[in-house]
Amino acid sequence: MTSVVDETRLRLMGLRLVVIVTMLASACSSAPECEPDLASALPTMLCAWTDAPQNPLIAPPANLDIIADPTVIEPDDSPDGRWHLFAHALTAMYHYQSSDGVAWTEVGKLAFSLGALRPFVFKQGAVYYMFFEQFLALDSSVIQVMESADLSTWSAPTTVLEPSFDWEKSLQTTVGNPFVVARDGEYWLYYSAAGVYLDDAGYSEPLNIGLARATDIHGPYVKQAQPIITPDAAVPWRNRGAGSIKLLDDRYAGRWIALENGIYRDDAGSSRSAIQVLESDDGVSWREVCPAPPLAPTDSGWKQSFVYAFDTTRRGDELRVYYNAREGWSNGVERIGMSSVTLQCP
């Protein structure tokens, strides 16, 4: 029979447990208390990124010149509480791990990933879905997806998107650079299509950006008939190609925020890429946030010519963008680095 003293102890233990859970929930919350007020201050903050002093963080695998298009899984979403990153080196996709998201260790390359580029990992429940661009020939690609429960063993890939419109077949018949977000009971798949040839670099970069939707993550995906972003001669940082786009996880005052790396020719005639911040009310029509791309090439060093292909993470008030950059044009070297922003209450 439980005594009054025992009942009191049980109640006190329950109260302490509630307090502890509340404190943990507060500590683990990804949003500051002023989250609704961030919308007005966000443009100012997102136009001033700070490079990690350790940049570049990841060099190409041995005997290769490129490591590119990173996708990142932060500790809260990973199966082992560590950071995970996947990127490609043209010959295959590679897996990296880290305890802090800064110092990375190569785990190895994914099996059967020849011709697989530009991965993006989307987590739903306990399943990780890796969307990626699979080249079938030098000028032809599709978007495929494969699944994993541990980020180590992956299912056989299946095709979810193929080029079909004329604007997906300019120079190259390609769809790639996938990014998926769950919204309003659907999966929105943003993707790049077709290509523009960069003669001074010797390769092509994406020309247009499209959007497709599905009620099942495996599809079928229904595309919008027209691209949502195209090159614009009046936009200095996107005068040749649209590059790729990825959205931030959070919305601010109902607005979607995204990063886009446009492809352009600078005043000196050199091919470039830089990352601009965009905002949208509907996720379809986008407008610039910053006066100029805040993540842009430098005069020299590891991001001398191109700053492109990226992924974002947010933990607490720190927003990170992991991206690859190129040193040089033809025969250049590409590495992966990181920049961050602190989302402070205004």
Under a CB-based contact definition with an 8 Å cutoff, are residues 128 and 145 in contact?
no
Residue 227, number of CB atoms within 10 A of its CB: 21
- The percentage of residues in the chain with a pLDDT greater than 90, rounded to a whole number, is 82
pLDDT mean over 206-224: 98
| Lowest-confidence segment of 11-20, 59-68, 190-199 by average pLDDT | 11-20
pLDDT score for 281 = 95
- Let me know if 243 is exposed, middle or buried by CB neighbors in 10 A (0-12, 13-18, 19+): buried
Residue 212 corresponds to which tokens in the numbers above? 């497709």
Q: What is the CATH number of domain 34-342?
A: 2.115.10.20
Average pLDDT across the chain, whole number: 90
pLDDT score for 38 = 66
Query: How many residues belong to the chain?
Result: 346
196, 202, 151: which is closest to 170 by C-alpha? 196
CA 308 to chain centre: 10
Under a CB-based contact definition with an 8 Å cutoff, are residues 279 and 259 in contact?
no
- Let me know if 325 is exposed, middle or buried by CB neighbors in 10 A (0-12, 13-18, 19+): buried
pLDDT tens digits for range 248-288: 988 887 899 999 999 999 999 999 999 999 999 999 999 99
How far is it, in rounded angstroms, from Cα 167 to Cα 171?
10
Higher-scoring residue by pLDDT: 19, 314:
314
How far CA 330 is from CA of 14, 68, 202, 220, in Å, comes to 66, 16, 6, 39
pLDDT tens digits for range 128-184: 999 999 999 999 999 999 999 999 999 999 999 999 999 999 999 999 999 999 999
Could you tell me the residue ranges of all domains in the chain? 1-30, 34-342
For residue 253, give the DSSP letter. T
Global pTM exceeds 0.85: yes
* CA atoms lying within 13 Å on the CB side of residue 95: 16
pLDDT tens digits for range 2-52: 443 344 343 433 433 333 233 323 333 344 556 656 667 777 789 999 999
pLDDT score for 20 = 28
How far is it, in rounded angstroms, from Cα 329 to Cα 203?
10
pLDDT score for 346 = 64
How far is it, in rounded angstroms, from Cα 6 to Cα 98?
47
pLDDT score for 297 = 98
338, 335, 297: which is closest to 58 by C-alpha? 335
pLDDT higher than 50, residue 198: yes
249, 247, 251: which is closest to 228 by C-alpha? 247
Higher-scoring residue by pLDDT: 337, 24:
337
pLDDT tens digits for range 225-238: 999 999 999 999 99
Residue 118 zone, left/alpha/beta (φ > 0; ψ -120 to 50; rest): left
Under a CB-based contact definition with an 8 Å cutoff, are residues 238 and 254 in contact?
no
pLDDT mean over 101-110: 97
